[in-house]
Amino acid sequence: MSSPVLGIMTLYLNEHRALEERSIYRRMILEGRKRGLDIYVFTPADVHPGGKQIEAMVFHEEKGWSREWRSFPDLIFDRCRIQRNRRFQQLLAFRQKYGHLLFLNRPLRNKWTIHQTLSEKSAFREHLPETVLFQDMSDVNRMLKASSLVYLKPINGTGGRGILRVERSSSEANTVLVQGRDQKRRIITPRKVHLSRLGALLQHWNMKDKYLVQKGIQLQLPNGRVHDYRMLVQKNGEGQWELTGCAGRMGAEKSVTSNLHGGGQAVAMSRLMKQWISDEELRAEINTTAEKFGIDVASFLEDTYGDLCELALDLAIDKSGHIYLLEVNPKPAREVFARIGERDIYYKAITQPLDYALWVYRNKPSDVGVSRRPAVPKPTTPKSARVKRTRRIK
């Protein structure tokens, strides 16, 4: 009996076919092999125009990465993150054309839509910072009247790109301090401006219908750096949601976000929270509440948007111990656990999707998804585009 096949679908980062998480995929392939799961990596650009085969990336310990023409997989693990280019358009076309295939996870919506969806459930509302969709500067001014701290976030942003922090000065009337990162994740020079000039400063950011205005939560540690927590919840080998792990993140100096790709530092959750909240009993209560909250959010979003297999929740905790949901990420990275030395959790974060994939394969209805097609002859391609059956990837 042949092994079930899992295709990890991602997007190239550039025209040189660079991949962001190749080391993770390599480990998934090796761990899958131990479980009797055949795994390869592909992008929508690798699908043959005839729609029958995929020029897949495969990994073997003895020869490293290479390419092979492969049939469509039994299951697809979608790891594609938002890009603003033709590669993302290829992804949208793939999802539309092959939406009948068996996916472990379906795409979520933008941050504004997710916020609105979660707001529908009363149990979640108290964990959501006040948020509106930016229409004009009146939204920012109104929020600044109610709160001394406001964040401006792109509705489709990732990795801290384009996030601005606007804080009212405690010593200078009608003055705010603007900090943040540009779209390339670079820290912008902090500026003090009069409220009347804030609109002019933000004008070139093109925010209408593309940004959120969100009430800020004071999260600066005694060293002046901001912090939050990254929680990972995943489906296990029995198809049930469970907490995989939660780690603290401390932002780089002068950064308004804690993202690791922006220079942030990973810290064990227990160690970071102890710096913030001294009451041990309260910390234990926070951990219990956060775990239940994370699983409830994942279950609710899956019921709303379709199949999911993992989610990362970025959580903020104020001094009183109240938990706020800052963001939901359906394509989470895992390196935060490796960076804090929690190797068992890191291993679990890598292997849980594989165990879940096997559970889905064994329990799928006979009329759902698509069976792996038998091997077919290599597609005919123009001479200039021909590749060997197997070739090394540099």
For the segment 329-372, what is each residue's pLDDT rounded down to a tens digit?
A: 999 999 999 999 999 999 999 999 999 999 999 998 765 544 33
Mean pLDDT (whole number) for 199-205: 93
Supply the pLDDT for residue 255: 83
Helix axes 269-276, 280-305, angle to 10 degrees: 120
- Is the pLDDT confidence value at 227 over 50? yes
Backbone angles phi, psi at 129, to 5 degrees: -60, 145
Whether the Cβ atoms of residue 188 and residue 142 lie closer than 8 Å to each other? no
* 268 CB-contact burial (10 Å; exposed 0-12 / middle 13-18 / buried 19+): middle
Whether the Cβ atoms of residue 3 and residue 38 lie closer than 8 Å to each other? yes
Residue 252 contacts by C-beta under 8 Å, 6 or more apart in sequence? 187, 225, 262, 263, 264, 265
H helical segments located in the chain: 22-34, 86-97, 111-119, 122-125, 137-146, 195-202, 269-276, 280-305, 335-339, 343-363
Q: Would you place residue 392 in the very low, low, confident or very high pLDDT band (cuts 50, 70, 90)?
A: low
Mean pLDDT (whole number) for 282-301: 98
- Is the pLDDT confidence value at 377 over 60? no
Q: Would you place residue 381 in the very low, low, confident or very high pLDDT band (cuts 50, 70, 90)?
A: very low
| Residue 127, token pair as written in the block | 């964990």
Residue 82's Cβ-side half-sphere holds a number of Cα atoms within 13 Å equal to 15
Supply the pLDDT for residue 252: 86
Pick 1 or 169 by higher pLDDT.
Answer: 169
- Is the pLDDT confidence value at 394 over 70? no
Distances in Å between the Cα of 326 and the Cα atoms of 130, 155, 266, 313, 346 are: 11, 12, 17, 8, 23
- Is the pLDDT confidence value at 253 over 70? yes
Q: What is the mean pLDDT of the chain?
A: 90
Supply the pLDDT for residue 1: 60
Largest CA distance in the chain: 74
- Is the pLDDT confidence value at 389 over 60? no
Q: Would you place residue 184 in the very low, low, confident or very high pLDDT band (cuts 50, 70, 90)?
A: confident
Backbone angles phi, psi at 10, to 5 degrees: -140, -170
Mean pLDDT (whole number) for 99-128: 96
Q: Would you place residue 374 in the very low, low, confident or very high pLDDT band (cuts 50, 70, 90)?
A: very low
Residue 380: CB atoms within 10 Å: 8
Supply the pLDDT for residue 267: 95
Mean pLDDT (whole number) for 151-179: 90
Rounded Cα gap, residues 107 and 331, in angstroms: 9
Backbone angles phi, psi at 25, to 5 degrees: -65, -40
